[in-house]
Structure 1
Amino acid sequence: METVNIKKLAQLLNLSISTVSKALRDSHDIGKETKEKVLQLATELNYQPNPHASSLRKHKSKTIAVIIPEIANNYFALAINGIEFVAREKGYHVLIYLTHEDYANEVAFTRHLVSGRVDGVLISVAHSDKDFAHLQELRMKGLPIIFFDRVCENFDTVKVTTDDYESAYLATKHLIEQGCKKIANLGIAKTLSIGNKRLNGYLKALKDHNIPVDESLVIECTNDQDADFNLIKDLFKNERPDGIFAQVEKYA
C-alpha cells in the first residue's frame, strides 16, 4: 500500500502542502471548510504523521543528553532511572555519556553536542573539572544546561542539588553522638563544590562539639582506586579512627 503523506494529500485535494499541514495542525489561518476536507481525506486514507520529519522541521531532536562521571555510584544509577522515566513520558529519548571522571572526555562530549544532536543537557561534572569554557560554548549555542549533584557554582543556570553542608553536618553529628572522637573524613576533590560543602559541614560539627580538627584524619581521595586504597590503608595504620564520614558511597 502506498504511503500517504502530506504531499499526497495536497495533490488529491489540489491544495498547497503548507495549507494541508496547517489544516492538520488546526491552525487558525485555515478556514473551517478546508480543515474538514483535509481531515476527512486524511482519515479515509489512514494518514499517519511522521514524528521524525516533524522534529526536523521544528529543529528538535526530542533527545536529552545526560553527562555523568560514573555509573557504579548508586546515586547516578537512580538519577538516570528517574530522568529516563520522565523523558519517556514526555516523548523524549535519553543519551547517556560517561566521562569516567575525565575532564577531556567531558569536553569532547560537549563539543560533539554543539552540532545540535540534542535539545538539552543534564550534567554532573567530572572530578577534575577546573575550566567550564566548554559548557559556556554550549550555552552560547542556545542549548539549555542543567547541573545536578556536582555543579559549577559560577555558572548561571538551574542546579538540582541536595543540602551537602547540612547532610555532612548531620552525619558527623550522628557519629559524635555515638561516642566517636576521632572521625576521619574521606573526601572528594576540593575543586568540586560538593566536596567543599561536605568538608565544611564535617568541620562545623566537630567545632560545635568541641572536638579539635586532626588534619591527618582529613583525607582527600583521588580518582585512582589503587591510590585511594593506599591512602585509606595508611590512615588506619597510622591513626586508627573510631568513626568515618565518607563523602561518597564508594569510599565507605
Structure 2
Amino acid sequence: MSQINIKKLAAALGLSTSTVSRAFRNNSDINPLTKERILRMADELGYSPNLYASNLRESKSKTIAIIIPEFDNNFFSQAIKGIEQQARRNGYHTLIYVTEDDVKQEATFIRSLCNGRVEGVVMSASGEGLKHVHLNMLKERGIPLVFFDRCYEDVEATCVTGNDYESSYEATLHLIMNGCKRIAYLVVNKNVSIGKIRMQGYLDALKSAGLPCEDELIIECTNDKEEIYKSIKRSFEKMKPDGAFASVERLAMTTLRYCADVKLEIPSDFKLVCFSCLEIADMLNPPLSTIKQPAFEMGKRAAEILFEALCNKESVTEKQVILLPSTIIPRKSTAVVNNTKAIGL
C-alpha cells in the first residue's frame, strides 16, 4: 500500500480534507460520531498527522514551557503531572526547563523561548533580584505567564500557591505544643517568596508562644547535599535545637541523616516537621510529620489559567495570588514521648 496522507484518508472516508483536519485538531465544530469514524479509519490505515508542520504554517507551536527550579523534589514532579494533564486536554505539548535555582539560567531560558517556540509559560521562580526584566520579554512577545508555588512580586502575572504562612505557623506551633523550645528553621533561600513567607509564619508562631527569635536558629543552606549536612552539623552543635521546621523536604532528609549519625533520638531528643509531598513519609524511620501541599492541583490550576489566557488571546494574566490549602499530617517525628498524649494542632 502506498503511503497514506490526509488526502487519501479523506477520499477513503468520503469527506473533505478540512473535515478530517478538524478531527485531529479536536475542534468543537465537528460531529463526535464523524470524528470517531475519522480517528478509527486513521488508526486502521496507520495515518498520523504532522500537526507540528501545520501549526508552524499557522504560527502556532501548540507547546507551553514549564520552568522549575529543581527536579529533586517530589512537589515539582506532582505539579508537572497536573500541568501536563491540562496541556493534553487542550491538545498541547510541554517543554520542561530546570534552572537549578539560578535566576541567570532562568533568564537564558526565557530569552530562548521568545522565538516562537512556545505559546505560554508556567513557571516556579528561581531566585529574587532587584528586577526581573527578562520576563518583560514574554509580555512583549504576547506570551502569557502563570506562576505556581514561587513568584516574583514585581512581575504582572497570576500566581497559584499554597497557604504557606498559615501552614508554617501551625507547624511551628505544633512543635512548641509538643514540647520544643529551641526550634531551628531550615531554608534553602530565605529571599525567595516562599522562603520569606514560611519564615514569617515560623517567627510569628515563636512570638505568639513567648519564645525568643534567635537569628542563629535560622539556618540558610545551599542545594548541595554535602554543604547542607555541614551547615546543619555546624549550627546544631552550636545552638543545640530540640526541634526543626524544614521549609523543603531535602533539608529534612539531611537532618534525619545527621540525627542518625550523632545518635540523636527522634522524637525523644529532637522533633522534626517539614513541607513535603514525599509519598513514603509514613514509611521512614521514624515516620515524618509533613505539611503536604496540593502539588497536582496547584499545577493543574496554573495550567487552566494559562489556557484561559491563550483562549482569550491575552498576553498577560491578571496580577493576583490564588491560595490552595495544605494539609498538616502529624507523625512520629513530632510525637510526645513517655506515653504523654500529644496536644493536637
Is TM (by shorter chain) over 0.5?
yes
Structure number, greater radius of gyration: 1
| Partner secondary structure for residue 170 of structure 2 | helix
* Equivalence for 2:152: 152
* Equivalence for 1:118: 118
Q: Is the 8 A contact 1:67 1:124 kept in 2?
A: yes
Q: Distance in 1 between matches of 2:110 and 2:21?
A: 37
Work out whether 1:198 is the aligned partner of 2:198. Answer: yes
Q: Distance in 1 between matches of 2:233 and 2:20?
A: 71
Counterpart amino acid of 2:218?
V
| Partner secondary structure for residue 64 of structure 1 | strand
Q: Distance in 1 between matches of 2:67 and 2:232?
A: 29
Q: Distance in 2 between matches of 1:73 and 1:161?
A: 16
Deviations 1:130-150 (A, max 9, x none): 531111112211101111111
| Partner secondary structure for residue 161 of structure 1 | strand
1:108/1:48 CA distance change after superposition, 3 Å: closer
1:187/1:50 CA distance change after superposition, 3 Å: closer
* Equivalence for 2:218: 218
* Equivalence for 1:186: 186
1:101/1:173 CA distance change after superposition, 3 Å: same
TM-score by length of 1: 0.79
| Partner secondary structure for residue 211 of structure 2 | coil
1:65/1:205 CA distance change after superposition, 3 Å: same
Deviations 1:54-102 (A, max 9, x none): 3223321111110111101110011112212221222211111111122
Q: Which has the higher contact order (CA 8 A, sep 6+)?
A: 2
* Equivalence for 1:92: 92
Q: Is the 8 A contact 1:127 1:223 kept in 2?
A: no
- The unaligned stretches of length 5 or more in structure 2 are 11-15, 23-40, 253-345
Q: Distance in 1 between matches of 2:69 and 2:63?
A: 20
Counterpart amino acid of 1:108?
T
Q: Distance in 1 between matches of 2:21 and 2:223?
A: 55
Cα RMSD (Å): 2.8
* Equivalence for 1:168: 168
Q: Is the 8 A contact 2:147 2:160 kept in 1?
A: yes
Counterpart amino acid of 2:229?
F
Higher mean C-alpha deviation, range 82-91 or range 133-142? 82-91
Q: Is the 8 A contact 1:102 1:128 kept in 2?
A: no
Counterpart amino acid of 1:239?
M
* Equivalence for 1:131: 131
Aligned 1:1-252 pairs, distance under 5 A: 1=2, 51-127=51-127, 129-252=129-252
Give the number of aligned pairs. Answer: 226
> Offset at 1:5?
5.2
Counterpart amino acid of 2:196?
N
1:20/1:128 CA distance change after superposition, 3 Å: same
Q: Distance in 2 between matches of 1:186 and 1:54?
A: 50
| Partner secondary structure for residue 66 of structure 1 | strand
> Offset at 1:207?
0.9
> Offset at 1:108?
1.2
Identical amino acids, percent of aligned pairs: 47
Counterpart amino acid of 1:208?
S
Q: Distance in 2 between matches of 1:224 and 1:104?
A: 18
> Offset at 1:239?
1.4
Counterpart amino acid of 1:230?
K
1:239/1:121 CA distance change after superposition, 3 Å: same
Q: Is the 8 A contact 1:128 1:191 kept in 2?
A: yes
Deviations 1:178-208 (A, max 9, x none): 0111000112323211111111100110111
- The unaligned stretches of length 5 or more in structure 1 are 10-18, 26-42
Counterpart amino acid of 1:213?
C
Counterpart amino acid of 1:114?
C
Q: Is the 8 A contact 1:130 1:191 kept in 2?
A: no
Deviations 1:14-36 (A, max 9, x none): xxxxx9859986xxxxxxxxxxx
